[in-house]
Structure 1
Amino acid sequence: MYYTDRGIEELLKRRGDEEVTLEWLADRLQEFTDIHPEFENAVERFATWLARLDDPED
């Protein structure tokens, strides 16, 4: 188990029954990078990965 798995498990436990929009998620990611600019590159890579998830070229 990766260290990040614990955070993912907590997210599912606390908010797993909620439905959110991509707009809500984008707002939270922007809010997070405003508070923690040192993670901007990781968040950018994650957002790009999500955006291109179904793109056969990537």
Structure 2
Amino acid sequence: MPGLRRFRIAYPGRMYFTDRGIEELEKRRGEEEVTFEWLAEQLRTFVDLNPDFEVPVERLATWLARLDDDEDEDE
């Protein structure tokens, strides 16, 4: 979210509620290495258990899958 990124830069001490989960993930498992295959399986399991989150998880997965697309277009 470009707007969110700009907000964080403009107001660097603010923490969003969602950041707490991200920070916990980083703190508890930040040293681990996983494959995208493993991550995809965890996302599928999460959506199976929490079907209301299917759309946001799909958007996250698509965003992660296409991260390098912008770099490829620049070359």
Q: TM-score range by the shorter chain?
A: over 0.9
The number of residue pairs the alignment matches comes to 57
How far off its partner does 1:2 sit? 1.0
Counterpart residue number, 2:5: none
- Per the TM alignment, residue 41 of structure 1 is displaced from its structure 2 partner at its CA by 0.1
2:54 aligned with 1:3, yes or no?
A: no
Structure 1 residue ranges (4+ consecutive) displaced by more than 2 angstroms after TM superposition: none
- Aligned counterpart, 1:42: 56
Identity of aligned residues (%): 72
Q: CA RMSD in A?
A: 1.0
Residue segments in structure 2 that go unaligned for 5+ positions in a row: 1-14
SS at match of 1:53: coil
Instruction: Please give the alpha-carbon distance, in whole angstroms, between the structure 2 residues aligned to 1:43 and 1:28.
Output: 11
TM-score, length of structure 2 as denominator length:
0.72
Structure-1 separation of matches of 2:69 and 2:27: 30
| Alpha-carbon distance, 1:35 to partner | 0.2
Partner SS state of residue 40, structure 1: helix
Gaps of 5+ in 1: none
What is residue 12 of structure 1 aligned with on the other side? 26
2:42 to 16, 28, 32: 28
